[in-house]
Amino acid sequence: MQTYTAIAHTNIALIKYWGKKDDKFIIPFNNSLSLTLDRFYTKTSAQPITAATDSFVLDGQAQSGAALSKVTSFLDILRAETGSTQRLAINSTNHVPTAAGLASSASGFAALTLASCAAFGLQLPRRTLSRLARRGSGSACRSIYGGFVEWKKGQDDLTSFATPLAANEQVDLDIAMIALVVSAQAKKVTSRQGMATTVATSPFYPAFVKSCETDLLAIKQAIDAQDLEKVGQIAESNALKMHATNLGATPPFSYFLPETLVAIAAIQQLRAKGFLCYFTMDAGPNVKVICRGQEALKIQAELQALLPNTEMLLAYPGPGAKIVNSE
């Protein structure tokens, strides 16, 4: 039977999603804004099968247990939402360096949504694909689109989806990101657990949600004005506020490692020398540098001199998710 293959790129949030109002439907407390990257992606094929259950191969390995049921329960959601009864053989490859701490769940669920819906024989609008991808992992709804993407929180399943900032999904701002892989250690607290604990217990959480509103407005203006300095400042401040909520949680937790602080100090050192560089961080110890595309190689070289043992991966704005072949 026909196989449908999709590619989706990962995205990094400049205004963070951190906390669900509704765990089942993954409805967030605040709008978030991300940049889709060109370098890191997931490629997923879906083939309709006559077997009674779905199967899942990841990076060449047949999966069972928790990894398989994560995929089959998501396919159950897709089937329930679309009315399909079709079982699928899923084959997925992550082109995201495993240690990079670059969310592969975003590209993973976006690619899985596209390939599976195509294999169900459906041609769905991208807004619907974004809503469906959201049910797998919140940040996946943003990977449906390229460039700068805003996830509008909405109030419910129908109204919570991502939308690109520019209709053509192109980025006019000269921006790049350098992922500094400061530690390959697996994170102790998943983003799902971390945000749930923070929402339930951190007195700082409401302040974070409130400041996201102001940060979002300001960063959209800065993107429009092509003011990268301001984009960097707002993104860095927003990420630090997100991480501050975790310190206020019960029990408190942090994604920072000593190496994280060393990397941040190196970025601050470059900034003091007049380089335009800021950072953002997600639910892990690695740091993503925000800089001008034109200056990225120079900044990477300067950082590498300060952090000789740190792996660095440079990425530029990337495209939205698409079906690449069906045969």
- Taking CB under 6 A as the binding criterion, the range among 60-68, 134-142, 288-296, 304-312 that sits at the site for ligand DP6 is 134-142
Applying CB under 6 A, among 108, 138, 147, 317 the residue interacting with ligand DP6 is 138
Of 287, 105, 283, give the one whose Cα is nearest residue 179.
287
Q: Is 104 in the site for ligand DP6 (CB under 6 A)?
A: no
Q: Closer to ligand DP6 at the Cβ: 86 or 116?
A: 116
- The label of the residue with tokens 């919140």 reads 138
Minimum Å distance from CB 311 to ligand DP6?
20
Q: Is 199 in the site for ligand DP6 (CB under 6 A)?
A: no
Q: Which of 7, 8, 13, 182 binds ligand DP6 (CB under 6 A)?
A: 13
Q: Is 139 a binder of ligand DP6 (CB under 6 A)?
A: yes
Distances (CA, A) of 131 to 23, 25, 114, 136, 280: 14, 9, 12, 10, 26
From the number of C-beta atoms within 10 Å of its C-beta (0-12, 13-18, 19+), residue 200 rates as exposed
Q: Does 105 bind ligand DP6 (CB under 6 A)?
A: yes
DSSP state, 320?
P
Residues 20, 98: Cα–Cα separation, whole Å: 26
**Looking at 12-20, 159-167, 244-252, 286-294, which segment touches ligand DP6 (CB under 6 A)?**
12-20
Q: Which is nearer to ligand DP6, 28 or 299 (CB)?
A: 28
Interface with ligand DP6 (CB under 6 A), residue from 103, 115, 132, 216: 103
Q: Which of 39, 6, 181 is nearest to 109 (CA)?
A: 6
CA 206, 209, 214, 219: dihedral to nearest 10 degrees?
150
Is residue 152 close enough to count as binding ligand DP6 by CB under 6 A?
no
Figure out which of the listed residues 4, 17, 120, 278 binds ligand DP6, where binding follows CB under 6 A.
Answer: 17
Verify binding: residue 137, ligand DP6, rule CB under 6 A.
Answer: yes
What is residue 317's DSSP assignment?
B
Q: What is the distance of C-alpha 176 from the center of its chain?
A: 16
| Contact flag: residue 150 with ligand DP6 (CB under 6 A) | no
End-to-end, the C-alpha distance of the chain in Å comes to: 8
- Interatomic CA distance for residues 252 and 198, integer angstroms: 9
Q: How many CB atoms within 10 Å of residue 93?
A: 16
Identify the helix (H) or strand (E) that includes residue 107.
helix 104-119
Please, what is the minimum distance in Å from the beta carbon of residue 215 to ligand DP6?
12
* Shortest Å distance, C-beta 206 to ligand DP6: 18
Contact 105, 140 (CB under 8 A): yes
Q: Give 96 or 270: the residue with its C-beta nearer to ligand DP6.
A: 96
Member of 6, 7, 8, 26 binding ligand DP6 (CB under 6 A)? 26
Closest by CA to 245, choosing from 211, 284, 198, 286, is 198
Residue 232 makes contact with ligand DP6 by CB under 6 A: no
The strand pairing partners of 48, in sequence order, are 88
> Binding mask 266-285 vs ligand DP6 (x if CB under 6 A, - otherwise)?
----------------xx--
Q: Kindly list the distances between the CA atom of residue 204 and the CA atoms of 28, 207, 276, in Å, as whole numbers in the listed order.
A: 16, 5, 30
Judged by CB under 6 A, the residue of 192, 230, 271, 322 near ligand DP6 is 192
CB of 13 to ligand DP6, least distance (A): 3
What tokens were used for 67? Answer: 């990894």
Region from 13-21, 50-58, 110-118, 289-297 binding ligand DP6, contact rule CB under 6 A: 13-21
**133 near ligand DP6 (CB under 6 A):** no
Binding site for ligand DP6 (CB under 6 A): 13, 16-18, 26, 32, 103, 105, 137-139, 191-192, 282-283
